[in-house]
A and B are shown apart, each in its own frame.
Chain A
Amino acid sequence: MTERKIRIMVAKPGLDGHDRGARVLARCFRDAGFEVIYTGCHQTPEQIAVSAIQEDVDLVGLSCLSGAHRYLFPRVVELLKEKEAEDICVIGGGIIPEQDFEMLYHSGIKAIFTPGAHLDDIVDWVRQNVEPK
């Protein structure tokens, strides 16, 4: 038996095309030894949930800079729950004002990373909080 690999999906829900952060993070996860599925810009929450299940990922990292996170992030969590995949951990990043944190945590988002977050801190968070299934 080989070591269990952490699988992560990095996704950009909504219409926003600012993918610098998502792409940098995808590379960083690869360099940290994770298997990363990057699904590109302009994904609907439905597409993200289905892809996450087909790819059997441990973690979905959502990135949104348009301000639509209050709808999009909780919707992904909700859809995973509907598809009996609530064990998949969902985190978010982008331009997220602090006043929205509580609402997002409450909806099931496990962590939020905003501009200035260090890549290493994000990787550490994953190592500490994500147990490959």
Chain B
Amino acid sequence: MEQTKKIREGNIRIVSRLIRNLEDSEPEARTAIKNIFPYTGKAHIIGITGSAGAGKSTLVDGLISAFRKKNKTVGVLAIDPTSPFSGGALLGDRIRMQKHTEDPGVFVRSLATRGAMGGLSKAVGDAIHVLDAMGKDIILVETVGTGQQEVDIIYNSHTVIVVLVPGMGDEIQAIKAGIMEIADIFVVNKADHPGASQLLMELKNMINMAQIPEDGWPLPVMTVESAFEPIKFGEKIDSLAQNILKHYEYLVHSDQLKSRLHRKTMVEIKDALRTCILDQILSDLEANGELDRLAYKLISKESDPYTLAEEISSRYLKKRPGKPYQKKG
């Protein structure tokens, strides 16, 4: 397994090409994941989410420095949106992480959403496996930052950081969007800007209402000021990194690591089933033109979607028609 060996040795060309193949759903990429899977599970995966302009990339840049100081190797996956019009994407997160470019202990990769909802890209789960297998101690995943429903990150990370900034009017929005429930650590960025104290108060009230049990994770709220004051910024980020590591320890001690892993693998197996079964069937139907014919049957009211789907599923899954829905009849 030459490729697996090279990935584990951290060969950048092989790793970055494999991520590319995963994004493009190349069949050989799946084989590669099968091969490296036994070597995954060691990295601490950290999700960073928050609206656009919240300063996520600058924070990631700071965290890379902080973890490198602790001699941990770091992988970064930064996700930006694909244009729904052209299918192209402008990926600009790595701009803020340039100072680590020549550090061999850091690997940064930009991913486009390619139509995936939920703030991530479809390939992100597998890309995390790749960085994990290449031996990165810490994997930072930066979400798109549309501020809407970016909750998928919890299925992919151990620790989720929600970044908020004052004066963007997104506080209440964020609570509604359910982004608050996913946080393990809150960061109020640009905390020297007007409106920060109010935002902090709102957050703390909300956490108080949540009634965290005594042995539970206390849900820290941290503040970070201007990235232009390098010394102070560095100190704040160091303590953020400290809290992130503490959270991981908490997960281990409280046995929550297992339940998070279970949550993650459930999603993973469902995704894999979808890819191997549903995608297969769909591409098959598309290729032989049957999908089109099915659509016409609906237009002409010859049939209904469920009857057609049951026929297809029975054909492919070798079951009698209607069986899963016996109650219906």
Asked if the two chains touch in their complex, CB atoms less than 8 Å apart, one says yes
| Chain B stretch 68-110: residues in CB contact (< 8 A) with chain A | 82-83, 85-92, 94-95, 98, 101-102, 107-110
Contact A47 B98 (CB under 8 A): yes
Report how far A88 CA is from B110 CA in the complex, Å. 17
Contact A55 B109 (CB under 8 A): yes
Interface of B is mostly: mixed
Instruction: Give the number of residues in B that approach A within 8 Å (Cβ atoms).
Output: 32
Contact A32 B20 (CB under 8 A): no
Report how far A53 CA is from B15 CA in the complex, Å. 10
Known: A39-B98, A54-B107, A55-B110. Is A33-B17 also a contact (CB below 8 A)?
A: no
- Which residues of chain B have C-beta atoms less than 8 A from A20's C-beta? none
Contact A4 B24 (CB under 8 A): yes
Chain A's interface size range is 20 to 34
Report how far A33 CA is from B26 CA in the complex, Å. 19
- Which residues of chain A have C-beta atoms less than 8 A from B88's C-beta? 29-36
Contact A35 B91 (CB under 8 A): yes
Report how far A32 CA is from B91 CA in the complex, Å. 14
Contact with A along B239-253 (1 / 0, CB 8 A): 000000000000000
* Sample of 18 further A-B pairs with CB below 8 A, known A36-B88, A54-B109: A5-B23, A27-B90, A31-B86, A32-B86, A32-B88, A33-B86, A35-B112, A36-B90, A37-B110, A38-B90, A39-B95, A53-B12, A54-B108, A55-B109, A56-B13, A84-B13, A85-B13, A133-B20
List 18 A-B pairs, Cβ < 8 Å: A1-B24, A1-B26, A2-B25, A27-B90, A30-B86, A30-B89, A33-B86, A34-B88, A35-B91, A36-B89, A37-B94, A37-B110, A38-B90, A43-B98, A50-B101, A51-B94, A56-B19, A83-B13
